[in-house]
Amino acid sequence: MALIQKNLVDRVGTITLDNRKSHNALSGELIGDVLRAMDELLKDEARVLVLRAPAGAKVWSAGHDVKELPTDGRDPLTYNDPLRQVIRTIQEVPVPVIAMVEGSVWGGACEVVLCCDIIVAAEGSSFAMTPAKLGVPYDIAGVLNFMQRIDLPIAKELLFTAQPISAERALDVGFVNHVVPIAELETATAELAAQIGRNSPLAIALLKEQLRVLSTATPLTPEGFERIQSLRRKIYDSADYREGLRSFFEKRPPVFQGK
Ligand code: LCV
């Protein structure tokens, strides 16, 4: 059973995350459905993609499926993790991807939204970046994505506090494009998508790839990369990482010991 809905109207492809029982947690299964839908819509010559939750959703997505985070000493966010795959796909598909957001967005889902090309959020929606709350050693590509979209002091506050911020604050700090009343969310998104769909798909595909390549040209030495990976390994091998996940399942605040 698909955990998403898909439709294509006037070359605008819409993918609706629709796994309500786990608040659209980004499980491998749900992400697999999203990737297949993106592939099918591009084959049907969609010129814009919209990623959304069902109308009225209180939670856009609860982030990475915590049940799928390994606790046996394996890296929880490797290159082939479904979350990393869908984020790279959003960044690399040759059409603009618009995140149409209502409700709360958590953890890895914040990065998914941030890596969409344009974000239209409803008043009352919120964004929480949660690695520090769960004790998760976030991966380098993910941190770079946050840095690309959010000024460093703001990114640090959001990541260190792991607290939700409002759509209005997200607009102020520049990581959403528009905040609109919930009743106007679909219309505002559709108008934006239609404007883009009337322009040259070839020129837009080139512009998107130019912006991706030029914005990700970040110097990272092999030594720097290895050093960060060794720091991450210490964390996903730590008691704190296991405590973070255990506290989530036991529905209690984590007690981190710093080891
Ligand atoms: C699996 C879930 C989830 C979930 N996974 O309903 O960025 S990182 O590094 O942190 C990254 C690794 C990441 O993205 O981690 C996930 C970060 N996400 C969060 O911290 C959000 C966790 N979820 C919540 O805070 C609440 O579920 C919200 C506020 C989204 C909704 O609260 P509400 O009271 O409406 P429940 O908490 O009762 O959730 C309903 C069911 O969905 C499961 C949750 O375990 C519960 O399952 P059970 O009914 O079996 O108890 N669920 C929620 N989020 N990310 N499962």
226-253 residue pLDDT tens: 999 999 999 999 999 999 999 999 999 9
Q: Which of 19, 66, 247 to mutate to test the pocket of ligand 1 (most atoms within 8 A of CB)?
A: 66
Query: How many A from CA of 76 to the centre of ligand 1?
Result: 17
| Cα 64 to Cα 24, 56, 83, distances in angstroms | 9, 21, 7
The confidence score (pLDDT) of residue 93 equals: 98
Residue 135 three-state SS: coil
- pLDDT for res 2: 85
Atom of ligand 1 nearest to the CA of 134: 10
Mean pLDDT across 103-125: 98
* 161-200 pLDDT per residue, tens: 999 999 999 999 999 999 999 999 999 999 999 999 999 9
Is residue 183 within 8 A of residue 56, CB to CB? The reply is no
Listed residue (55, 51, 47) closest to 9, CA to CA: 47
Identity (one letter) of the amino acid at 139? D
Instruction: Please say if the pLDDT value at position 1 is more than 80.
Output: no
Q: 108 an active-site residue? A: yes
Please give the average per-residue pLDDT across 115-137, as a whole number: 97
Give yes or no for a contact between 53 and 59, defined as CB atoms under 8 angstroms apart.
yes
Substitution site in 106, 138, 245 for ligand 1 pocket (most atoms within 8 Å of beta carbon): 106
Dump the DSSP string for 217-249. Answer: -----HHHHHHHHHHHHHHHTSHHHHHHHHHHH
Contacts of residue 170, defined as CB under 8 A and 6 or more positions apart, other chains included, come to 119, 121, 127, 176, 179
CA 48 from chain centre, in angstroms, equals: 18
Q: What is the pTM of this model?
A: 0.95
Report the candidate in 193, 174, 25 with the shortest Cα–Cα distance to residue 104.
25
**Is 64 part of the annotated catalytic residue set?**
yes
pLDDT of residue 71: 87
Catalytic residue from among 103, 138, 142, 241: 138
Alpha-carbon separation of residue 246 from 145, 241, 243, 250, 251 (angstroms): 28, 9, 5, 6, 8
| Pocket-testing residue among 3, 21, 23, ligand 1, by greatest number of atoms within 8 A of Cβ | 23
Q: Please indicate whether residue 247, judged by its CB atom, sits closer than 6 Å to ligand 1.
A: no
23: annotated active-site residue: no
- Kindly report the CATH number that applies to the domain delimited by 4-181: 3.90.226.10
Task: Give nearest CA residue, ligand 1 atom 1.
Answer: 65
Instruction: Decide: residue 62, CB within 10 A, 0-12 exposed, 13-18 middle, 19+ buried.
Output: buried
pLDDT of 209: 93
- For the record, the structure tokens of 176 come out as 């959403």
pLDDT, tens digit, 9 for 90 and up, residues 90-108:
999 999 999 999 999 999 9
Q: Quick one: average pLDDT of 142-166?
A: 96
Q: What is the mean pLDDT of residues 11-38?
A: 97
Average pLDDT in the 56-75 region? 95
Q: Using CA atoms, how far apart are residues 169 and 173, in angstroms rounded to an integer?
A: 6
Torsion of CA 93, 94, 100, 103, to 10 degrees: 20
Residue of 108, 135, 142, 244 marked active site: 108
Phi, psi of 78 (to 5 degrees): -85, 175
Marked catalytic residue, from 13, 63, 64, 142? 64
